[in-house]
Amino acid sequence: MSFKTRMLNSSFSTLSYLILGVSYFTFGAYFNIGLFKYLIFLFIMCFYALIVCTNLLLIVVICKNRSLHEPMYLFLCSLFVNELYGSTGLFPFLLVQILSDIHTIYAPFCFLQIFCLYTYGSVEFYNLAVMSYDRYLAICYPLQYHTHMTSNKVAMLIALTWLFPFFAIAVPIFLSSSLQLCGNIINTVYCNNYCVVKLACSDTRMHNIYGLINLCLVVCGPLSVILYTYTKILKVCFSGSKQTRQKAVSTCTPHLASLINFFFGSFFEIVQSRFDMSSVPMMLRISLSLYFLTCQPIFNPLMYGLQIKNNAVSSTRNPLT
């Protein structure tokens, strides 16, 4: 074998290792904005600090105030903990990438971020479904509410809300990490599992099949519970008294607003990750992808904070009620 042939084979082997044995990913959505990156860094850092402070404050208020140790507020506490979890999976990484000149991430850290962000979204879906079930019992069966929603049942629902998504998301992450990849450029500002799968040059049928199953478990299951419970709530409202309708509006309005906000963000994230959005301006695509992960952590404390404050104040003024 000639020296030229040996060198060609060696180069080919090295190239194959670099392509198929991907050890890091490069983000293609970042671009040079000069000194403006420091302004954006400060804005995002303040935004993250606001999210942490507001969610932590409401968690402390619920834990410290015994009058708020009711199922609805315990589910809210779980929701606020999830907002902190999801924000921590995104913002510190985002802040580092904004200041960095080389926008890369090691593959294990990328899959860790995918796991954090996907479990955040799944827990959010299940938490909203459990909260809708709680509102359904409170409005449709007010006299039997505490019989149905016991402390043991609340603990079980919160545990399932967290544990099941963690196990469900672990499987597609494992399947993605074992794929052979023919590239390492992700056209987003954070790690996305579907973007990684699109880089695969090996068979992804098993991954796609489980992806559909996982979609039904994580999205369609909670969505079915939400639609069923609100159908029953609307039926009771239309056939009930004015007082019943007022109670339903006051208790369900924040939850409905949170639902609509989260589904809006989720819809755009699913669309842009699975369809060609190259005709859409890059800044709009980045904004929509970030909206999915930032809309709830800042929106929920604003929606529920006033309600929690009013209940805490009223219970302080009337400790025997």
Q: Higher-confidence residue: 91 or 268? A: 91
Secondary structure class of 189 (helix, strand, coil): coil
Largest CA distance in the chain: 94
pLDDT digits (tens, 9 = 90+) for 202-222: 778 888 788 788 878 888 888
DSSP letter (8 states) at residue 33: -
Q: Mean pLDDT over residues 293-303, rounded?
A: 87
Q: pLDDT of 55-98, one tens digit each?
A: 999 999 899 888 888 899 999 999 999 999 999 999 999 999 99
Q: φ, ψ for residue 104 (rounded to 5)?
A: -130, 165
Token output for 186: 């992700």
Rounded Cα gap, residues 83 and 123, in angstroms: 10
Write out pLDDT tens, residues 185-203. Answer: 888 889 988 888 888 887 7
Question: How does pLDDT run across 106-135, given as a tens digit for each residue?
Answer: 999 999 999 999 999 999 999 999 999 999
Phi, psi of 117 (to 5 degrees): -70, -35
Q: Which CATH superfamily is domain 25-315 in?
A: Rhodopsin 7-helix transmembrane proteins (1.20.1070.10)
Distance separating alpha carbons of residues 47 and 228, to the nearest angstrom: 36
List b or e across 256-268, with b for residues whose CB sees 16 or more CB atoms inside 10 angstroms: bebbebbeebbeb
Per DSSP, 181 falls in state B
CA-CA distance, 292 to 299, in Å (whole number)? Answer: 11
Q: Give the domain ranges of the chain.
A: 25-315
Q: DSSP alpha helices (H): ranges in the chain?
A: 3-20, 36-64, 71-99, 107-140, 145-148, 151-177, 193-197, 205-215, 221-239, 242-274, 282-317
Question: Are the CB atoms for 106 and 134 separated by under 8 Å?
Answer: no
Dist CA 200 CA 59 (whole Å): 42
Q: What's the rounded Cα separation, in Å, for the pair 29 and 19? A: 20
- pTM (two decimals): 0.85
